[in-house]
Structure 1
Amino acid sequence: MSIKVTVVVQKEDNWYVAKCLENSVASQGKTIEESIDNLREALELFYEDTTPENVNVPTFVTTMEVAL
């Protein structure tokens, strides 16, 4: 079985942090690719003994500008 998840990657100091929006699981790496690979492994472990809920719920991600 496989599922699709929404991932945000942000640079924090010398690391890239990848976070899954559906369940808040996060991981890091020295490169974007490494952070995503590490997140994939973390998600596989997270879902190892459980069945994901709401796997077909569409997610809308956007950016917005806020006046300060």
Structure 2
Amino acid sequence: MKTRSFTVIVYKEEDMYIAECPEVGTVDQGETIEQAIAGLKEATRLYLEEFPLAETSLKYITTIEVSYA
């Protein structure tokens, strides 16, 4: 069994927390942050069992600064 770390982005939409994994594209939701992350972990595990990632598919996350009116 392989183990890999992935990025999780969590935000609130109305009364639910949304958790996303940008490297894989999986998304889940929950009433709490913990529930959303737990659901995302399971969804990502199931996705990777069906569609394994290539070993070289590393992605990097950074930030940008944008000025606007």
Please say whether Structure 1 and Structure 2 have the same fold, judged by a TM-score greater than 0.5. yes
**What is the Cα deviation at residue 23 of structure 1?**
2.1
Name the CA distance, whole Å, in 2 between partners of 1:34 and 1:56: 28
What are structure 2's unaligned runs of at least 5 residues?
none
Instruction: Write out aligned runs for 1:1-68 (5 A).
Output: 1-54=2-55, 57-62=58-63, 64-68=65-69
Task: Report if aligned partners of 2:24, 2:44 keep a CA contact under 8 Å in 1.
Answer: no
What are structure 1's unaligned runs of at least 5 residues?
none
Query: Per residue, is there more helix in 1 or in 2?
Result: 2
Q: Percent identity between the aligned chains?
A: 31
| TM-score (structure 1 length as normaliser) | 0.81
